[in-house]
Amino acid sequence: MSDIKKVVLAYSGGLDTSVILKWLEDTYNCEVVTFTADIGQGEEVEPAREKARAMGVKEIYIEDLREEFARDYVFPMFRANTIYEGEYLLGTSIARPLIAKRLVEIANETGADAIAHGATGKGNDQVRFELGAYALKPDVKVIAPWREWDLLSREKLMAYAKQHDIPVDFAKAGKKSPYSMDANSLHISYEGGILEDPWAEPEEDMWRWTVSPEQAPDTPTYIELTYEKGDVVAIDGQAVTPGQVMEQLNRVGGENGIGRADIVENRYVGMKSRGAYETPGGTILLKAHRAIESLTLDREVAHLKDELMPRYAELIYNGYWWSPERQMLQEMIDASQQTVNGRVRLKLYKGNVIVVGRQSASDSLFDESIATFEDDAGAYDQKDAEGFIKLNALRLRIAARRRR
């Protein structure tokens, strides 16, 4: 007899999680609470409520987390200019700590004994969900059906659904995209299908958010982003919330063919994985943030951030958002952003994000009177450079003499 009486399930309403819902009830003889989050995936989440009701679920959580996701997860990550293995903007990774947090909170609210997710045993998401849950609720019980059951193919899942009268649109399920996809307001990812061959070029009709650079407009789009303490607070002079920033930048970036990536990455579980990503808004944010930092950050602070960023990115990718080391790094990163204020002007053109202007009235460290190639009226004494160079060359000169 299982000691699990109630489970909180991360539920999308699709085939996989609908099967998981019924499987949990049958396997553990338990009540299931469903949790469905809108984090900007661009699909209606309310139908999940009706599907859960049709399956007899009594406690159903449907939550709009778009603003929280952008404000408390995406924006803090972009203050660090975070990018994994030089290319991946961590769209899937950064959503998992928020989902894990809400699973745990709902478990506490409902008195549930366990949480459950639909991540497979091959991927990173199982690690991210569970590390987050354990960090926030050390004694939580986690159920990962893909590591327990024998329903290891789509055909078996559909057969199980038919056998148990699970409400699934089988016509739609049978026409499912050949790709495994994940979407939120930062990105949409594609894996599987022909992408399992690293030599195969993605099909053009796979992409959903962006036009191809070849099909993008022949005239550039100009936008202006206003920054306060490292975060965008206005677009073209109009105040915006973090969620609105993602929505607007995804739209304008997608229209200009910005944000496509084709990557072979190293998963935390050990295998290499090939994926394609669309991150139009994130691609714009990364370029713009580095531009405003170039004007307002001290050189050594900027270089130290760049040195620490790969470690910070790895922590997020591997699922350690709630770890003390990530939180320590975040405090340092946030402290560095106090002077990151001003405006960046960008030109978007056929897949390119081009910085064409940056300005900070209060915090710019660019001194034109010193940097000018014209007469600086004594602001900088070029003779000072001689001693500077000789002191820095001293060890090189000593070593060179030894080698004679």
Domains belonging to the chain, first-starting first, are: 6-65+91-176 (3.40.50.620), 183-297+340-359 (3.90.1260.10), 371-402 (no CATH)
Is 118 a known ligand-binding residue?
A: yes
Question: Alpha carbon of 354 to those of 228, 239, 302, 357: distances in Å?
Answer: 21, 23, 21, 9
CB atoms within 10 A of CB 391: 9
Angle between helices 242-255 and 280-296 (to 10 degrees): 110
* pLDDT (tens digit per residue) in 338-372: 999 999 999 999 999 999 999 999 999 999 988 98
Q: What integer is the mean pLDDT of 236-247? A: 98
**How far apart are the C-alpha atoms of 376 and 367, rounded to whole Å?**
11
| DSSP-derived secondary structure letter, 269 | T
CA-wise closest residue to 341 among 365, 362, 366, 368: 362
Q: Do the beta carbons of residue 357 and residue 364 sit within 8 Å?
A: no
37 is in an annotated binding site: yes
User: Nearest-5° angle of CA 103, CA 85, CA 147?
Assistant: 40
Instruction: List pLDDT tens digits, range 97-112.
Output: 999 999 999 999 999 9
Q: What is the average pLDDT across 375-402?
A: 94
Percent of the chain topping pLDDT 70: 98
Q: How many residues are there in the chain?
A: 404
Please give the Cα distance from 289 to 337 (Å, whole number): 10
Mean pLDDT, to the nearest integer, of 121-150? Answer: 96
Q: What is the pLDDT of residue 2?
A: 73
- Residue 243 three-state SS: helix
pLDDT at 185: 98
Question: Is 16 assigned a ligand-binding role in the annotation?
Answer: yes
Work out the pLDDT band at 1, boundaries 50, 70, 90: very low
Q: Are 277 and 189 in contact (CB under 8 A)?
A: yes
Residue 228 pairs in a beta bridge with 231
**Is 296 part of any known ligand binding site?**
no
The residues that are catalytic are: 16, 96, 125, 180
- Pull the structure tokens for residue 31: 């009540």
